[in-house]
Every structure is written in C-alpha cells, then in structure tokens.
Structure 1
Amino acid sequence: MHRPRPRLLALCALAAVPPAIEAVVLVRLGFVAAEGLSSQVTAVWPYDTYHDLRWLYVYHDSWPDFLAVLLLLVGFRGVLTTGLVALAWPAGVARPRLRRLLVRNLGLSAVVTVLVAPWALISVAASVVALSWVLLASLLPMFLLAPFLQRAAVVAPWWRGLPSIALVGWSLLNLVVITVAGALCWSVPGWWTVPVALLAGVANGLLWERTVHVAVQTPRVRWSRVPVTPIAVLLALAVPLAIPALVQVVPAGVTIEQVVLGQRLPPDVRHAVIVLAGHGSAYDGAAPVDPNVERFSYRGLAGDGRPLPYRPVDTTRSLESGAALLENQVDRLHRRTGRPVALIGESEGAMLARTYLAQRPHPAVDTLVMFSPLIDAGRAYYPPPGADRGWGVVTGWQLRALLGAIRLVGVDDSGPDDPFIRSLLDDAPFYRNQLMCPVPGVRMLAFLPTTTATEAPPGEYTGIPVFQMPGVHGGLLGRSLVQDRLVHFLAGVPESRQRREYPLLQQLGAGWQAPPLAIRLNPAWDGRRQPDPSFTGRVCQPS
C-alpha cells in the first residue's frame, strides 16, 4: 500500500489543529451560534483572513486593543501561511528559502488584511440589520477575489496575470468546503463539533496542497503584464455600491401595500387595519380603498386624524418614537371605527409594530402580522459617535467612513447612526430574544421569505407561527397566495407553513455570519441579563 507523503501528513496536521482548538473553545463556552466559523481558521486565502477580521471587528472595546490584536493576527496569519505553503510546495520545484518565504508572507498578510477588511466590516453590518442583501454585499467580493489572492503566497508578482482555470476551480471547491463544513460544525451535537472541525482542517490542508501546486506549476500565465488583481479589487469595491441600486430596481415581489391597501377587506374581517410600510418607503397621503384600513405615517397624524404624507427620510426615526406615533394612531382608529385593531407591518414596519406591543400596547390591538421581520437583528454593536471605548468602537468609525465614501459616489443609503439603526443596536437583547415571541392576548403570524434563512445563525428563531415561502426581503412571491392566507388569518383562521429547505439554508449560511456579541458582555445593553440565543440556541426564554 502506498504511504502518504510525510510532508502531506504534516501539512494536514498543521491545517487541522487550529480549527480543532477554536472548536474546543467554542464548545466549552457553549457558543453555538459561532461554531460554524471554526473550520475557516486555516482556509485558503482570503477566507482565513476574513475569519480573523470578523472576530476582531465584533470583539474589541478600544482602539489600542483593536490595533494590538490586529498586529497579532497579521503576524499569526503570516507565520501560519508560511508553514502551510512550505509544506504544500511541490517536490522537485525549487522553493524560496524559509526566511524569505516568511518575510514575504508577513507582508502579504498585511496586504490581504487591508483588501479583505471592507468585506468583513460589511459582514458585521449585516449582523446588525439582518438583511440578506447586506450579507451578499460582503460575500460576492470575496468570491471574486479568492482566485487572485490564493496566488499571493506563491507567485511573484502575484498581482499580474489571470489565475488559471484550475485555480478558479479549486477556489470554488474551497468555497463549497467552507460552506458545508460550517453547516456540519453547527449541525452535529456538542463535542462532535471538534472532530468535524478537525476533518474540515484536513480538507483545508489538501486544498492548500492543490492550490500551491497549481499556482507554482502553471506553465503559462495569461495577461502576464496586466495588473489584473488591482483591477479585480476595484471591481470588488463596486459590488457594495451596485447591490443597493439593484435591490431598488429588481422587482421584489408582493408587498403589503399591494395586498391590503388597494381593495376592500372581505366582510368576515371584523378588524380595522393599520399597514406599516418598511424602511425607505413613502406615502403621498392617498386614502386606502377600505375606510377601515389606514396607512401608518412616520410623520404622525394631521389635526383631523388623517395620516400625514411622508418621505423616505422620515422612516429613519427611532423605533421608540415610531411606537409613540403608532400609539396615537391606534387610539384614533379604534375610536373612529369601534373595531378591534390589527397591525400589518413589513420590515421596519414589522419591527415598529412589535416594539409598540412591547412598550405601549392598546387593549384593542389583538392581531399582528409581520412581513419580512429582521430576524435576530442587533448581533453586533458599536457605540454612538464621540465614544472612545465600547465594544466595536473601531467598527463604528470604519462603517461611518465606508458609508461616507459610498455617499460620495452618489449612492444614498442609511448611515450607521440613523435613529432606526441605533434602535436595533441599543435594544438588541429584545430584538434577539423576544421579537418572534408571543404577546398575551394577541394573535401573531410572520410571513418569511426564504432569504430570511441566510440572515441569522441557524437554530430556533421563533415562538410564533410562521408562513415560509419563496421570496426576498420586503417581497413575497405569489400575490394570490399571500392575500388569501393573510385574509384568512385576519378572519380568525390559524395559518402556518414551514418549508423543508429553510433549516438547510440556515445551516449553510452558518459559516458566513459574523460571530454574535455575547449579550452579557455589553454594559450598554440594559437587557444584558436576558438569556442569549447565541449560547442557548433558543428564543423566548424568560430572564
């Protein structure tokens, strides 16, 4: 029987030990939400650095701490990559001296860190707002850059020429291995995560061996004089700029305005209804067809009780101030119609309606329907401007700089300190643990598009009935189905549907989420004594 080469065994061992160590620590802490990240510690560039930076952006509480840990991570990554590349180097091909390889990889580690930092930063932002398109904006550039950066430790000059087709193929396989390994690390119970992470590390070692061989032994590099990698970096920088615009122009499917506001409700619906549209919506003041239906206004009511028109900028208000406006509108509508009140909220509107029920409930409100709520929002934190300490302080300032740069090129988007975003940050324990939980005396249902499955760590996420169906955030496919199910629910018929692929999509997304900030660590969170779903794997747990 042919024995494996000793260097290959050493390579696999070196690649397997760090993921196993991280898995041991996470299992020992009971940090179930982050277990899917352990397999990435020794992934091929740039995914290993992406792993490091996501931890750093969440878990630092001062500038000195951030800089010190950043330097340690750059050094660790440079040394580890040197060992992996040296062991993966093909026999019969002259290899640079170890010292030269170390100097080269320490420098490259710093370069790759700079290149990957924006996408790790956006990943943390995605964990604050729980929006799939924000997570997509952090991942697509990584997929684009991976074949180029995987040559960096081997080829000189690595920034010129196209990667080979073989290297692109191994890069795609690397992506598949990371995704599947993250799902398996999360799926297996308890300490079984450690051997799974160990095997994922072995797979990483084999991928290092293949990518180094392909990069070293490629006989001819196409476009060898063209600085292709810098061009690829510029294209990657354009991805976060393009995705918000695409979200605006690509049809999202059925919205609650289309389903509710343009027609009369059937006679068997005995409720008056308030429709709360999402972030960035606008209202021109036109009255709904049904006199028992009103549109919630983010500007409040006129003197005669009619909802005022509002612009997209008005939706940036805090959820607490929106709940105060909703309290007044519920009271006026109930007195005008004499009917019980149902709230139907979409995205930010769903969050506002749920906040209202937690803070200012009216006895007339006995029904809540949420479309595309932000599941498990507020998983990271950064302090308000002016603070020089606090968890994620550097993350906050870098997000402000990044969003400022995006605005300079004409893409207008919410800032990291908009009152709505700060509501998610400041009351994160509630939105992480209680958003999808029953309210006594209120019938509740959440319509969830399938993309929601990728927006939060896997595990239990709801204590109320959910209706899952294909769609993207803010829109569900199949208008007649949504309309029928919604009307049936308003008429008192129980509704729920769970799709088989939903848990699988949750698990496959496990390795791409930023690690959540432990609730108990953050003194800025008044509710930090609440049970933490990141550790319990459950929601709706009493304090």
Structure 2
Amino acid sequence: MPPAPRRRREILQEAGRHDEETTVGSGRVRTIALLLLSALPPTLEGAAVAALGFQAARGLAPQASAVWPYHVYHDMRWLLVYHNSIPGFAVELLAVTLLRGLYSAALVALSWPAEVPRPPPRWLIRRNVEIAALAMVVVSPWAAFSVAFATVTLAWFLLASLVPMLILSPFLIRAGTVSHWWRGLPSGQLVGWSALNLVLLTLAGACAASVPGWWAVPVVAVAGAANGLIRRRTVHEAVLPGRMRWARVPVAPLAIVLIMVLAVLTQAVVGIAGRGTRGEWQPPMVTRPLPAQVRHAVIAIAGHDSGYDGRQPVDPRVERFSYRGLDGQGRPVPYHPKDTHRSLESSAALLAAQVAAVHRRTGRPVALIGQSEGAMVVVTYLKASPGSPVDAAVLFSPLLRPGRSYYPPPQARSGWGVVGGWELRWMIGLANLVRENDQNADEPFIRSLLDRGPFYRNYALCPVPGVRMVAFLPTSSAVEAPPGQYAGIPVVQRPGFHGAILYQEPVQEEIQAVLAGATLHQRRREYDVLQQLAAAWQAPPLAIRLNPV
C-alpha cells in the first residue's frame, strides 16, 4: 500500500538518490505513454460521434479521460440514456465500472512520481475499481438530473449538477492514489488542478462542438493528452502533499454524504419542471392597460406551478388563461399550482375553448402570450388548430429542444432510460417530503414532453401560417440545448434567467410593438458563446429513431 501522506520534504529524504539517466529516460517513456493512453478514449469517442453524425454529443468526448469524477459523470450520462432494460443496465454498469477502474489504475501508475515507491499493480487496480464503483453511486443522482435536464431543458439542472463534481474531484483523486484518502482536506494545489480540468473540459467541449465534422477528432485528442498532464500533476499532489489541514477529520465521507443530500434538496428547490412561475403570476400586461393601438384580445398563459385567484386584469382586452377551464359565463376559473401539471394536449384543448369564447365575445383577433409551460401550451395549440382566430403569439422562455431524453412509464419494466426514470422517481419522492407542492416524474406535463419528444424537440418553434410569432429567450437558455439554431421564428435574446425577462421594462415596449404589427429579431453575441461553453455538460440525446413513441 502507498505511504500515508507526509510532508513532501520527508518523503523525498526517505526516497534516497536515483540514477539520473535512468530516471530521466524512463520518465520520458512514461510521459509519452501517459499522453497516448489519455488521448486514446477521447479520440475513439470523437471518431465514433463524427462517423455517426451525432452533432449534439461532440462536446462530451474530452471527458472520457478526465480526472475523477468528470469521467464517471461522462459515463453515467451515456449509460442512463442508452440502456433499454434493468438487467442490461446492470451489465453495462458492471462493465463500465471495471473498465474505468482498470484504465484509471494504468493512468495513475504512469503518473506516479519517480521519487516515491509505487504500490503494486494489484493494489492500484483494486483501489481504482472500488473508487469507480463508489463514484458511480455518488454521481448517479446528478447524472439523473442531467436526464431530467434533457427532458425539460432548464439551465438550473445543468448548473446544479456541476458544483458537486467540482467538490468531489479532489477527494476522489486522492482516493485512487493513497490509502488514507478519507481524512483531511485536499491541498489547495489539488483543488486548483481539478478545477483546471473542469475548465479544460469546458473549453475543449466548446471547440469540439464548434468545428465542422471530423475536425473535432484532433481537438478531442489534444484535450485528452492535456487531461494526462493534469492527471500527472494531481497524482503528484496526492502522493506528495504539503501541510494537510484537518488531518484527523474524516472530511471525504462528510463531503460525499453532503453531495448525496444535496441531490435531494436541490430537487426539492428546483423541481423537475423548474417552476418557471412561482405562485400568483402578475406580469405587466396583466397589471397595466395596453396601448390604444393594440387591436387584439390578449390571453396570457402562465407557467408551471403558477396560480390564479380570479382577479381580472386591469385592461378588459386582456384575459388570464385558466388551467381549469371556463365557468358557465365563459370566464376563466381560478386554479391552483397543481392544476398546471396536466398534459400539454389537454391544456391546449382548454386554450382552444377559451380562444373561441374570447373571439366570439369581443369580435377581435386573438393574441397569445405564454411563459415557460405556457409558451409550450401555445405552440401545442397552434400546431393543432390551423386557421384559428389567433394571428399573433409571443413566447417567453419557451423550453428549447425538450424531450431529448426518454424514460418509459412506471408500469413498463423495460425501455430506453428505464433506470434513469426510476432514479428520478425516488429522488422526487424524497424531495416531496420537504416541498409544499408535490412533484412527479410521470406527471402529465412531463409525460407530454417525453411522449411527444420528436415534435417538441424539432418543431415547436417552427412558424405557423398566418400567425406572427416571436420568441423571447433569456441568455440562460443558451445552455439549455446543444449548440445550434433551433427557432424558425424571429427571436429576441435578452440578458436574464428563465421566466424573468417578461418583467423588464424594454420588453414591455417590445410586446406592444409586436401586438401592433412589428416583427422583431435581435440576437446577442454572447448567446452563441454560452451555447458552446455548455456543450460539454449536455446529456447525450436519445436518437429519435429509438424513441418508442
């Protein structure tokens, strides 16, 4: 077993003198072998992705040889999307765990500092296989988050899943190299090198996603070799630590428990559908009168977990959409947050009845303004109702390419993503214990996105004949889908987060301009950059031909 961490000077003194020529020569050979071995998996994955034309997954390949736990996060995202039975997942998980452990042991051996005796290969293999198994368990809930993210495409999921990887990395790096890894805080240098690897993976993923076709292969090969250099530094820092703080405290187990608890608490705060609207929804078009030149009757549609107490908007030309339908006088009925969990198809049917009632009562053309889930209700209605009285639609924070992942209903015992679905159900069930409004991984709204994934993924933001459509996208939505242009309608990109840009004063003027007949189209430079930087951390989408519906 490798020595317990001691001061760098003491270890070097005990190591004695080495023959300089032998050390330098073998060091060169080991460095070349390390670089080649580190570059191999990213190169093979990059070539396979290029050969298949799998554009959305090009940013993931550099992670195949990253340090702990980024490579495991890479593996688990692929596994949770691409398995179609529980026994199949178990076999795949076992195979990947063994391969990851063997591969990591080889990289650690090649990275080992020459001045310290290296532990036997058997110890390195056993230790790295054990850590691979541990990492698979700890990272799995966050990889399941990534599957949920690919379903509802909200930036919170992506951002929430990266923080635990950054926290875990220094601890797991030590775990694969030294015996008493679970005690003491990692050194600042080790934290810095592991953070640098995250930065490298982000930049390499952005480059791989932005270059055409096969050019991504040399990009990921270079990134893989750079992973090897970072791994060598992390192994040196783990084996030859400086002064260790809290040397007797079991910090690593505490950090792992914290990460597992955070997986549930984060789900409790964010929710699987992200809560684009919280509680009573009172945007300016509801609380202020519209300009006189607006000739439309306007229906405003709130997002997930919103509520409506029945208060009428200030302007009589504006009406709130109700997720519970209309009363006997054709007026929207108050609703509770739970009512927004219905399927998009049923919500669109309620909207169709309300559009007809408003048009019949006012004689005006109808304009729809929808936010988040409300925007998806609008596009579902428009695709199902050609020739309707609606001739203008404004979409705020629509979900970008939702339905990229899949998991079958709970009664199914097999199907693509079946284990990921059950993991989400367990996490959401635990989160419901500390949450006011219960969520459900199979609520009708979520199943709408899953069961009509190909439509929402590729056609939701396509133009509808006879309808002027504009989508307002916050800059946070740039990280919600792989790099690309997914809107066939005009877009206005605004700085902000999901569901927040509707309240910006300039946006109110733009809404009025759209309702008055203007067509807006405004792109921001940073949007494309953010898309590329997020490419490395997307979950691989399920190929459309594999979607059972």
Candidates 176, 183, 204, aligned match of 2:206:
183
Q: Answer yes or no: is 1:305 the counterpart of 2:365.
A: no
**Counterpart in the other structure of 1:378:** 403
Q: Describe the superposition over 1:69-93 as per-residue Cα deviations: whole angstroms up to 9, x where unpaired.
A: 1001001100000100000000010
> Cα distance, 1:360 vs. partner?
2.7
| Inter-partner Cα distance in structure 1 for 2:267 and 2:139 | 20
Residues 419 and 198 of structure 1: CA distance in aligned 2, closer, same or farther (over 3 Å): same
- What is the letter of the counterpart of residue 175 of structure 1? L
5 Å-filtered alignment, 1:389-400, equals 389-400=414-425
Which secondary structure does the structure 2 equivalent of 1:150 belong to? helix
The answer as to 2:5 corresponding to 1:5 is no
For 2:155, the equivalent position in structure 1 comes to 132
Residues 88-119 of structure 1: CA distance to partner in whole angstroms, max 9, x if unpaired? 00001011001111111111111111111111
Q: State whether residues 241 and 411 of structure 1, in contact with CA within 8 Å, keep that contact through their aligned partners in structure 2.
A: no
The CA distance in 1 between the partners of 2:190 and 2:438, in whole Å, is 36
**Pick from 304, 322, 333: which aligns with 1:279?**
304
Matched, 1:93 2:116: yes
Q: What corresponds to 2:257 in structure 1?
A: 234
- The aligned counterpart of 1:173 is 196
Is 2:478–2:527's contact at 8 Å kept on the other side of the alignment? yes
- The alpha carbon displacement at 1:256 in A equals 7.7
Residue 330 in structure 1 maps to residue 373 in structure 2: no
For residue 265 of structure 1, the aligned residue among 290, 294, 301 is 290
- Matched residue, 1:537: none
Letter in 2 for 1:216: V
Identity %, equivalent residues: 57
* Unaligned stretches of 5+ residues in structure 2: 1-23
Q: Which has the larger radius of gyration?
A: 2
Q: Confirm or deny: 8 A CA contact 1:257 1:277 kept in the other structure.
A: no
Give the Cα–Cα distance (whole angstroms) in 2 for the partners of residues 244 and 471 of structure 1: 22
SS of 1:472 mapped into structure 2: coil
Once residues 112 and 133 of structure 1 are traced to their aligned partners in structure 2, the CA distance between those partners, rounded to angstroms, is: 23
Select which of 120, 124, 132 maps to 2:143. Answer: 120
Distance 1:211 1:389, change over 3 A: same
Asked if structure 2 preserves the Cα contact closer than 8 Å seen for 1:297 and 1:310, the reply is yes
Q: Indicate conservation of the 8 Å contact 1:324/1:360, yes or no.
A: no
Residue number among 377, 381, 388 corresponding to 1:352 in the alignment: 377
Q: Deviations over 1:182-204 (max 9, x none)?
A: 00111111111110010010010
CA distance in 1, matches of 2:435, 2:281: 29
Letter in 2 for 1:71: L
Residue identity opposite 1:511 in structure 2: A
Q: Deviations over 1:404-428 (max 9, x none)?
A: 1222344645211010000000000
Question: What is the match of residue 465 of structure 2?
Answer: 440
Distance 2:137 2:156 in 1: 23
> Are 2:165 and 1:145 aligned?
no
The number of equivalent residue pairs is 522
Distance change (3 Å), C-alpha of 1:398 and 1:247: closer
Flag the 1:490–1:302 CA change in 2: closer, same or farther, 3 A: same
Aligned to 1:423: 448
Task: Please give the TM-score of this superposition, normalised by the length of structure 2.
Answer: 0.92
Q: Does 1:458 align with 2:489?
A: no
Unaligned runs of at least 5 residues, structure 1: 526-543
- Does the CA-based 8 Å contact 1:450-1:470 persist in structure 2? yes
1:220 maps onto 2:243 in alignment: yes
Q: Hey, what's the Cα distance between the residues in 2 that align with 1:364 and 1:217?
A: 73
Deviations 1:185-242 (A, max 9, x none): 1111111111001001001000110000011100432112111112112332343455
Q: Which residue pairs with 1:209 in the alignment?
A: 232
Which piece of structure 1 moves more, 60-69 or 132-141? 132-141
Residue in 2 that maps onto 1:488: 513
Q: Secondary structure at the match of 1:517?
A: coil
Q: Is 2:281–2:306's contact at 8 Å kept on the other side of the alignment?
A: no
Structure 1 counterpart of 2:425, which letter?
Answer: R
CA RMSD, Structure 1 to Structure 2 (Å): 2.0
Aligned to 2:47: 24
Alignment partner for residue 346 of structure 2, among 289, 307, 321? Answer: 321
Q: Secondary structure at the match of 2:51?
A: helix
**For 2:56 and 2:438, how far apart are their aligned partners in 1?**
29
